[in-house]
Chain A
Amino acid sequence: MTKVNLLMAYVPMMIEWTEKYRPRTLSDIVGNGKAVAELKKWAEDWGVDKKATILYGPPGIGKTSAAYALANDMGWEVIELNASDQRTAAIIQKIAGSAAQTGTFEGVSGRRLIILDEADNIYGNADRGGVNAIVDVIKKTNQPIVLIANEYYDMSKTLRSLCKPIQFRSIQSRSIIPLLRRICRDEGVDYDIEALEVIVTKASDLRSAINDLQAIAQGRKKLSAEDVVIGIRDTKGSIFKVMTEIFKGSDPREALYASYTLDENPEDFIHWIDENMPREYKGEDLANGFESLSRADVFLGRVRRRQNYGLWKHAGEMMTCGVQAARSQEPHGYTPYQPPSLWKKLGQAKSVRAVRDSIATKIGKHCHVSQRYARAELIPFFKMLFKKKECAIGISATLDLSQNEIAFLLDTKDSGAQKIYDSAQKRIMLAEEHAIETFGGF
């Protein structure tokens, strides 16, 4: 503790709190006790087990902090490389390779910790050889190496086999609160405990919680829950949080601003609202909600036709504020939101659609109509004709339908289609033989 406070005296005013309050020692790390213990043991016994370790897990939960704190605790110098900054094999070889092999000026006891951040991000053409270089460095190193990654299985098998994996998990909201309290105290900000609770429930991880706190609390003497609700909107939210804001919130601006934080564009986002609105709204609310969504879709259509993306904002407003304003009843508790079923259905129906389209093409050609007309008007008619076996055989022969196509028109998967197909093919053969006999003389 004292260590942290001493350091603070030299820190300029505008420094990010995530840096300012970055733990200096492993014992300051919030959560992930088991992972921290494993990491400590790996360092203390270094040389016995694997020479490198991979710290993996979701962003913003202290992986990099743990690596730095470790170096601090062990008295090691740090060389940090960011895989996504300098990703060529040459640079990794040059820096990590030399550091790994030469030791330090301070003598054998003083080691250097090589931290390679975003290690799951060294693929693609630009990184040709990048992974091989790291593998090479790890094999030859005489210094400890920490790789940091979000996705363990995004890394190559060889790379994984050379490293000791240590998993970092998301930190429970509850365990973040004590840290926020401490920061508030140190910054001289008075706070309602509810305000901190709102921050931790809305933030997706530890880092973003600290960032949110700084964004809202800086320049204030007191922090109320209300300040937080209004101030929180600039943080990046998940699509589920945004939907909660739209369907259960009561401030249309909140709903709109929440949607700004998404990576989804309105073309995709509208399908999320569309999918889940019927789970939230009933009766008149649902009708009014869809009225707004229908208007939003008209704006999307105009954007598409005129390539005028400035109009997107109107679509965005209708699908957030509009949908929220449609609600007249109290929102009910928890709603399990679903991703858009449309996309899944489109994938599943692929083969049925292919059969249907090939029938429509055959009918269209034969009956001099468009495929669209065949699909909408004639396929239902043909399905009716197929209720009579003799008729089904005759038409299957006329159009030379496949067994799948016959099954589609029969609405069946049983052997009926097979029999009709065989009879139709026989008929086609007979007709061909007859034609050869008739015109055989030519």
Chain B
Amino acid sequence: MIKEEIWTEKYRPETLGEVVGQDDITERLKSYVKSGNLPHLLFSGPAGVGKTASAIAIAKELFGEAWINNFTELNASDERGIDVVRNQIKNFARTAPLGAASFKIIFLDEADALTPDAQNALRRTMERFSATCRFILSCNYSSKIIEPIQSRCSVYRFRPISDGAIEKRIKYIASEEKLKVTEDGLDAIKYVARGDMRRAINALQAAAVLGKKIDAEVIYKIATMARPEEINELIEFALGGDFMGARDKLDVLLIEQGLSGEDVINQIHRAIMDFGGISEKTRVQLLDKIGEIDFRLTEGANERIQLEALIAHFMLAGSKE
């Protein structure tokens, strides 16, 4: 086996007991494992709080060695259309479960990326294969999942992970990796993570590239670097009045790096929150405009045009600073 170098995977929980910070939920999930049976499940909650980790842990505990054959993971936002999803599900569900298992598990991540029509098709697929398959769906917002699917699933709402739980896990990984994390370094990790364990672990690993000692300064430096550098450049060009410069950066982000308009606006949003050199009044005004453009992205046809409108507004705000 090749040594695992990515810490989020290296320290991925093997059992439900190791899933951090969702004790209420994992306790209930353990009882399914004990009974050997499983209803369809719907996990909702923000990124990095243990939805995928719990699904994989359930499979490992239920199926043991054979888990890899009886578990499949699909991402609804990757597959083009429900037909692809259905075909993959069909192919997986067609063969009998391996080993002692009496069913297989299909984990469909980001199920809220499917349109309501596609979800209706998914519902029928779930019914067709319910004799041999259990579905675990995960989503950010359960309200985006149609009622008929929700009513067929046991719904679990994952919350952001508490600072205490993050601290405990980070301390454990740091000692395994022989790193020294200072108190303010820990606080900084908790701050940038905002309840997202994946982000916390990534921040730790990225900081470790710079040295064994991890303090607040390193973490905040990493947090800015983790943003595509074009985001900061875009904002600086825009506030400085260079529209064409900002648009070039936008094109790098959208075209070369393949970020969606939503990704870009989320990144800009985060960056503006931390951006120095503007008055609080201007910051609020920019945040308001970001909100409006974020909405128009969902309504409009061209993400680039909407984001250019945001840049033009930033220029205006920058000139009044």
Contacts and interface: CB of A to CB of B under 8 A. Distances in A.
Interface of A: 267, 270-271, 274, 278, 283-284, 286-287, 289-291, 293-294, 297-298, 300-304, 341-342, 345-346, 349, 352-353, 356-357, 360, 364, 366-373, 375-381, 384-385, 387-388, 391, 394-395, 397-398, 427-428, 431, 435
A364 B256 CA distance: 18
Nearest to B303: A297
User: Which of B56, B312, B313 has its CB near the most chain A CB atoms (within 10 A)?
Assistant: B312
A381 to B, nearest CB: 5
Interface stretch (B142-150, B179-187, B292-300): B292-300
Given A356-B256, A360-B258, A391-B5, A289 B302 contact: no
Interface of B: 1-6, 8-9, 47, 52, 56, 73, 75, 77-78, 109-110, 113, 202, 205-206, 209, 222, 225-228, 241, 243-244, 247, 251, 255-260, 263, 266-267, 293, 296, 299-302, 304-306, 308-309, 311-313, 315-316, 319
Contacts of B2: 397-398, 427-428, 431
B225 A278 contact: no
Contact of A283 (B110, B256, B315): B315
A357 B256 CA distance: 10
Contacts of B260: 372, 376
Nearest to A387: B209
A294 B294 CA distance: 12
Contact of B5 (A271, A341, A379, A397): A397
B319 A398 contact: no
Nearest to B12: A368
B226 A384 contact: yes
Given A349-B255, A376-B259, A384-B206, A298 B300 contact: yes
A379 B257 contact: yes
B228 A395 contact: no
A293 B6 CA distance: 44
Contacts of B257: 356, 375, 379
Contacts of B6: 366-367, 395, 398
A395 B75 contact: no
Interface centre among A342, A388, A435 (most CB of B within 10 A): A342
B225 to A, nearest CB: 6
A231 B260 CA distance: 45
28 contacts: A267-B301, A271-B302, A274-B305, A278-B243, A286-B312, A286-B316, A290-B308, A290-B309, A294-B293, A294-B300, A302-B299, A303-B301, A345-B251, A346-B255, A352-B256, A353-B258, A356-B257, A364-B78, A366-B9, A367-B9, A370-B110, A371-B78, A372-B263, A375-B263, A379-B257, A384-B206, A388-B209, A431-B1
A384 B209 contact: yes
Contacts of A293: 305, 308-309
A391 B206 CA distance: 10
B258 A357 contact: yes
Contacts of A375: 257-259, 263
Nearest to B244: A278
Counting chain B CB atoms within 10 Å of each CB, which of A368, A372, A384, A397 scores highest? A368
